[in-house]
Amino acid sequence: MTLESPLPVTTNFLRNIIESDLASGRFQGKRWAGAPGPASALTSAGGDPARIRTRFPPEPNGYLHIGHAKSICLNFGLARDYGGICHLRFDDTNPEKEEQEYVDSIIEAVKWLGFDWTVGQTEHLYFASDYFGIMYDFAQALIRAGHAYVDEQSPETMRAMRGTLTEPGKNSPWRDRPAEESLRLLQEMREGLHPDGSMALRARIDMGSPNINLRDPVLYRIRHATHHRTGNDWCIYPMYAWAHPVEDALEGITHSICTLEFEDQRPFYDWTLERLRDLGQLADPLPHQYEFARLNLSYVVTSKRKLLQLVKDGYVDGWDDPRMPTLAGLRRRGYTPGSLRLFCERTGVSKSNSRIDYSLLEQALREDQDPVAQRSVAILDPVKLVITNFPADQTEPCQAPRNPHDPDAGNRNFPFTRELWIEREDFTENPPKKYFRLFPGNKVRLKYGYVVTCTGCVKDADGRVTEVHAEYDPATKSGTDGANLVKVKGTITWVSAAHAVQAEIRLYDRLFSQPFPDAGDADFLASLNPESRQVVQGWLEPGTVAQKNSVWQFERLGYFVPDLIDGTPDNPVFNRTTTLKDTWAPGV
Interaction partner, residue 57 (ligand ATP, Mg ion, none; CB < 5-8 Å by kind): ligand ATP
- Closer to Mg ion by Cβ: residue 244 or 333: 244
* Catalytic residue of the set 31, 59, 221, 367: 59
Complex with Mg ion: residue 102 or 554, whichever CB lies closer: 102
Q: Report how far apart, in Å, the C-alpha atoms of 500 and of each of 44, 388, 539, 540 are.
A: 70, 19, 6, 5
* b/e per residue 75-86 (b: at least 16 CB within 10 A): bbbbbbebebbb
Q: Where are the alpha helices (DSSP H) in 169-264?
A: 179-191, 240-250
Q: Which residues does 543 contact at the CB level (< 8 Å), separation at least 6?
A: 376, 412, 413, 414
d(Cα 557, Cα 576) in Å, to the nearest integer? 9
Among 259, 298, 455, 579, binds ligand ATP (CB under 6 A): 259
Could you confirm whether 487 is annotated as catalytic? no
Q: Give catalytic status of residue 223 as yes or no.
A: no
Complex with ligand ATP: residue 102 or 439, whichever CB lies closer = 102
User: Is residue 217 at the binding interface for ligand ATP, with CB under 6 A as the rule?
Assistant: no
258 binds, among Mg ion, ligand ATP, none (CB under 5 to 8 A by kind): ligand ATP
Among the listed ranges 59-67, 152-160, 445-453, 567-575, the one in contact with Mg ion (CB under 5 A) is 59-67
Q: Do 161 and 125 meet the contact criterion of CB atoms below 8 Å apart?
A: no
Where does this chain touch Mg ion (CB under 5 A) — which range of 13-21, 56-64, 399-407, 479-487? 56-64
Compute the least distance from the CB of residue 70 to ligand ATP, in Å. 4
For residue 552, what is the enclosing H or E element? strand 552-554
**Nearest approach, Cβ of residue 236 and ligand ATP (Å):** 21
Dihedral-angle region of residue 271 (phi above 0 means left; psi in -120 to 50 means alpha; beta otherwise): alpha
Active-site residue, from 221, 223, 229, 294:
294
Helix, coil or strand: residue 407 = helix
Smallest gap from Cβ 535 to Mg ion, in A, equals: 36
Residue 230 partner contact from ligand ATP, Mg ion, none using kind-dependent CB cut-offs of 5 to 8 Å: none
182 touches, from Mg ion, ligand ATP, none (C-beta below 5 to 8 Å by class)? none
Kindly state the number of chain residues that form the binding site for ligand ATP, as judged by CB under 6 A: 14
Residue 231 β-bridge partners:
227
| Identified binder of ligand ATP from the candidate list 118, 154, 187, 303, rule CB under 6 A | 303
CB 522 within 8 A of CB 514: yes
What's the CA gap between 506 and 575, in Å, rounded?
A: 5
CA separation for the pair 66, 30 (Å, rounded): 34
Measure the CA–CA gap between 36 and 48, rounded to whole angstroms. 12
Q: Which is nearer to Mg ion, 98 or 320 (CB)?
A: 98
CA distances from 544 to 373, 506, 514, 547 (A): 12, 16, 35, 9
Q: Give CA–CA dist 255/103, Å, rounded.
A: 24
Could you give the CA distance from residue 481 to residue 478 in angstroms, rounded to a whole number?
8
Pairing type for strands 46-47 and 31-32 reads antiparallel
Beta carbon nearer to ligand ATP, 102 or 494: 102
Q: What DSSP assignment string belongs to 176-203? A: T--HHHHHHHHHHHHHT-S-TTS-EEEE
Q: Active-site residue among 80, 304, 437, 576?
A: 304
523: exposed, middle or buried (Cβ count in 10 Å: 0-12, 13-18, 19+):
exposed
Residue 59 Cβ vs ligand ATP, minimum distance, rounded to whole Å: 4
Burial class (CB in 10 A: 0-12, 13-18, 19+), 46: exposed
Report the residue number, 258 or 468, with the smaller CB distance to ligand ATP: 258
Q: Does the footprint of ligand ATP cover residue 353 (CB under 6 A)?
A: no
Q: Quick one: what does residue 538 bind among Mg ion, ligand ATP, none, with the CB cut-off 5 to 8 Å set by partner type?
A: none
What's the Cα-to-Cα distance from 395 to each of 389, 496, 527, 541, rounded to whole Å? 13, 9, 51, 15
- The CB-of-153 to ligand ATP minimum distance in angstroms stands at 28
Is residue 513 a contact residue for ligand ATP (CB under 6 A)? Answer: no
Residues 49-88, one symbol each (x = binds ligand ATP by CB under 6 A, - = not), give --------xxx-------xx-xx-----------------
Binding mask 273-302 for ligand ATP (x = CB under 6 A): ---------------------xx------x
Q: How far is the CB of 67 from ligand ATP (least distance, A)?
A: 2
**C-alpha dist (Å) from residue 184 to 133, 143, 191, 281, 299:** 17, 11, 10, 21, 52
Give which of Mg ion, ligand ATP, none residue 304 binds (C-beta under 5 to 8 Å, depending on kind).
ligand ATP
- Is residue 304 a contact point for ligand ATP (CB under 6 A)? yes
From candidates 200, 214, 236, 258, binder to ligand ATP by CB under 6 A: 258
Residue 478 interacting partner from ligand ATP, Mg ion, none (CB closer than 5 to 8 Å by kind): none
> Strand, coil or helix: what is 282?
coil
331 flagged as catalytic: no
Query: Looking at the annotation, which residues are catalytic?
Result: 59, 294, 304
Contact positions toward ligand ATP, by CB under 6 A? 57-59, 67-68, 70-71, 258-259, 294-295, 302-304
Contact positions toward Mg ion, by CB under 5 A? 59
